[in-house]
Amino acid sequence: MGKLTDALRKAAEERIERIDKVNHIKTRESFIVKKIKESRVDPRLVVYFDPKAVISEQYKTLRTNILSLNHEKAPKAIVITSAIHSEGKTITALNLALAMAQSANKPKVLLIDGDMRRGKIARYLGVENEAGLSNILQDKVPAADAMFHIDVDNLTFISAGSVPEHPSELLASEDMRLFIAKMRKEFDYVIVDTPPVISVTDAGIVGSITDGVVMVVQAGRTQRGMVKRGLELLHQAHAKLLGQVLTNIEYHLPEYIYRYL
């Protein structure tokens, strides 16, 4: 009887974990969209190159799921993180920002590279932008001078900037809190890409001053214990978990779906 109870409990837990995922994003290399125009933008930004692609639709579903979490007050400032490195969080943040900017009502979207240690957003966009978040928080440049755009209407970026001596302390400063509050007034949505939550405290710090955190998990790579530890750290930092995105999923899409899309 004990074995049966344990089996039922395990099945229930696995079902809850499946339901708890915000979305499943398929990112196998074979599904990377080829560039359809000359650009220095990374080809993994599928929503930029082909908004009607199957993967782009999945990011739009992710957008819808996040914004429908609270009908009365949808999340406006969102943190993207992962438990460990190389799970696809920055690519997810970029594609999500693009999907939000493509919404029918054309909201003003700001994507901030909050990884002041190893920020990659500017590189993925194919731009060189030395001034960024670290420079803003150290009063070296005004926020407006650190903002940049690519050829996407109503989408603005702020890179990580130069590597500061104490990144976590900058993110935990009053200047950061005031900066996020100001950006919330200037933009409809603010997305902050942060380092992995287990590596450093940055995601929890920024998560506590925003509306919530989305954790990116790579299927077949990230161990369950690492994900659990990451969630614990976010909880300890008083950061609200909005959900999880499972990347690197392989599944079959019926032919009629392709025909429809």
Check which CATH number belongs to the domain holding 130 and give it: 3.40.50.300
* Any domain includes 37: yes
* Any domain includes 94: yes
pLDDT of res. 68: 87
Domain count, the chain: 1
Total number of residues shown for the chain: 261
This model's pTM is above 0.95: no
* Any domain includes 69: yes
* Any domain includes 44: yes
* Any domain includes 77: yes
Q: pLDDT digit of tens for each residue in the chain (261 aa)?
A: 455 445 445 544 544 444 344 555 544 433 444 444 456 899 999 999 999 998 899 999 999 999 888 767 889 999 999 999 888 899 999 999 999 999 999 999 999 999 999 999 999 999 987 899 999 999 989 999 999 999 998 999 999 999 999 999 999 999 999 999 999 999 999 999 999 999 999 999 999 999 999 999 988 777 889 999 999 999 999 999 999 998 876 655 555 444 444
Answer yes or no: are the C-beta atoms of 207 and 213 closer than 8 Å.
yes
* Any domain includes 46: yes
* Any domain includes 239: yes
* Any domain includes 122: yes
Domain holding 251, by residue range, is: 21-260
